[in-house]
Structure 1
Amino acid sequence: MSKTAFIFPGQGAQKAGMGKDFYDKYETAQKVFEDAGEWLDLDMKELCFEKNDRLDATEYTQAALVTTCLAMEKVVREQGLCPDVTAGLSLGEYCAIEAAGGFSLKDAITTVRKRGILMEQAVPAGQGSMAAVLGLNGDQIEAAIQDIDGVSIANYNCPGQIVITGKKAAVEEASQKLKAEGARRCLPLNVSGPFHSEMLTDAGSRLAQVLETAEIKELNLPYVTNVTAEYVTDCKEIKGLLARQIFSPVLWQQSVEKMIQDGVDTFIEIGPGKTLAGFMKKINPDVKVYNIQTAEDMEQLVYLQK
């Protein structure tokens, strides 16, 4: 039996103008942006729709991207598209949980605003970094960096693309070694910190305190967590997993493989960019992948499903 997953991108997918056509065409999306602005005391329309320096600053990026993705998701549901399971890459996991019924819209958006601030403040500027390693698998990278203190794997994105994270000097040393070991490229990422590394352990503890004030509700459908690449059906697990997620590797490839193993054959990426659709082609080119980043994308998919 065919199954569908809604999947949501993580930080880095944001771009000026994201979600504007949904806002212009659909009252449901308008309400999400306006409510988010009121909850956060931010002009979300200016932040998301107009070119500005804040959109790429972690403390603003996270709230802006989650607001946009969930505004889109609400309209997608209204048009009759529904998932059997959800998942999200890093930050996108908050969208996945909301779409699965675990978070209210308000708690999802206000929590990621605080998460973004915690991550921005976690490590002084310039002390940490991340790099995408192209052309080596996880085992090869783990073997190469095991003797370098202060660097670890942050993301298992897809075959041939893995991200490393940690202390800036350690990431640079690891990049040189990995190139010598056969990596095609090691690309420094334009991020403000060493996300998904042990350097964010304290931020994880602080996030756990923030999550204490959020209401977690019974899930309407399962989602797959980045931390273990397993299905989550018990809402009591969510807070602990999200606190760990901030400093744990993102098992994205493994999460997708888990869903495919469970019979998911259609993936719908909701949000700006086509990052996850690109990963999907390398993880398993045989499944159907659709990308919704504009209202036109959504309308074409709705038409196809009729």
Structure 2
Amino acid sequence: MNAYVFPGQGAQFVGMGLDLYEKHPEAQELFEQANDILGFSITDIMFEGTPEDLKQTKVTQPAIFLHSTILSKVLGESFKPDMVAGHSLGEFSALVANGTLNFEDGLRLVSQRAMAMQKACEIKPSTMAAVLALEDQVVERICDETDGIVVAANYNCPGQLVISGEVDAVHKACESLKEAGAKRAMVLPVGGAFHSPLMEPAREELAAAIENTHFNEPSCPVYQNVTTSPVLVSNEIKVNLMEQLTAPVKWTQSVKNMISDGANHFTEVGPGKVLQGLVKKIDRTMETASASVE
């Protein structure tokens, strides 16, 4: 069974999507439509901006979403997912890919998500840190024991977990994690504490936008970050998507469930190869590939 997976923030690069724009009229039309919806020329920044331009929250999230969704549309008949999943932001691309959201609504929600997250980041100084080579339970326990807000945010693969929270709490937790035997506990260059309680203002804003958006019944199950199980009911998908910003990304658990439900080939749709690497770390027998078009 073919599982298609969609990357999240951090996979962006200058020049992303340019080959699609130049070679495929359908892609060109969708990119131009995106410029109109967003009210600025995101294609200029994606194709020939600086890495700094591309790192702006209002640009990064829509850029990755556009690269992934437009690529999946250009794949045409060869795009036949039996199941889909996306890492954080990538879940929105997955929901366009399986027909739950249309392209325009997906882009509007991603743009609103980016803005809401940016605002939440400005309310209180917060950050994230990558923790390597420590069991999940140990990381969770140390987060619970640390003063302030700090939680496990991204379960990326066995031995690779990201924590998220208030700046001081994250730094304190990193020290304790190193003492507990973590190979690394390294603060990441991010603008805020994504997938933590500090994203509550953004969650509320995005939930209102999701509530007012039409969701179709999906063509195949989506394994959502919040529940990790296959979902085929649009109302359930909606509820899980609303919870995503303050809940952890359970990627390891999602991939394991996809495999136990029959997935034997994972195709990453979008920029980079991060998810292929994570899938291999979760189960090295899996076949992985990047989606590509001529």
Same fold (TM over 0.5): yes
Please state how far the C-alpha of 1:266 moved relative to its aligned partner.
0.4
Aligned-partner Cα distance in 1 for 2:121–2:55: 17
Aligned to 1:49: 47
Aligned to 2:246: 247
Aligned to 1:219: 218
Aligned to 1:40: 38
Aligned to 2:4: 6
* Structure 1: runs of 5+ lacking an equivalent: 300-306
Cα distance change of structure 1 residues 58 and 160 upon mapping to structure 2, 3 Å threshold: same
Aligned-partner Cα distance in 1 for 2:32–2:145: 50
CA contact (8 A) 2:65 2:92 kept: yes
CA contact (8 A) 2:207 2:242 kept: yes
Aligned-partner Cα distance in 2 for 1:190–1:291: 26
The one-letter code of the counterpart of 2:97 is A
Aligned-partner Cα distance in 2 for 1:32–1:186: 41
Please state how far the C-alpha of 1:123 moved relative to its aligned partner.
2.7
Backbone CA RMSD of aligned residues:
1.3
CA contact (8 A) 2:7 2:275 kept: yes
CA contact (8 A) 2:132 2:183 kept: yes
Aligned to 2:157: 158
* Structure 2: runs of 5+ lacking an equivalent: none
Moved more, 16-25 or 48-57: 48-57
CA contact (8 A) 2:16 2:67 kept: yes
Aligned to 1:231: 230
Please state how far the C-alpha of 1:125 moved relative to its aligned partner.
7.0
Aligned to 2:13: 15
The one-letter code of the counterpart of 1:99 is A
Aligned to 1:29: 27
CA contact (8 A) 2:218 2:233 kept: yes
Please state how far the C-alpha of 1:218 moved relative to its aligned partner.
1.4
Among 70, 85, 88, which residue is 2:86 paired with? 88
- TM-score of the superposed pair, with normalisation by structure 2: 0.96
The one-letter code of the counterpart of 2:38 is L
- SS for the counterpart of 2:254 is helix
- TM-score of the superposed pair, with normalisation by structure 1: 0.92
Aligned ranges for residues 81-230 of structure 1 at < 5 Å?
81-124=79-122, 127-148=125-146, 149-230=148-229
Aligned-partner Cα distance in 1 for 2:220–2:164: 32
- SS for the counterpart of 1:169 is helix
Runs (4+) off by over 4 Å = none
* Residue-pair matches, total: 292
Aligned to 2:261: 262
Aligned-partner Cα distance in 2 for 1:7–1:214: 23
- SS for the counterpart of 1:285 is coil
Deviations 1:144-190 (CA, angstroms, capped at 9, x unpaired) = 22211310001000011100000001001101110111111112212
Identity value in percent: 39
Moved more, 108-117 or 49-58: 49-58
Aligned-partner Cα distance in 2 for 1:39–1:214: 15
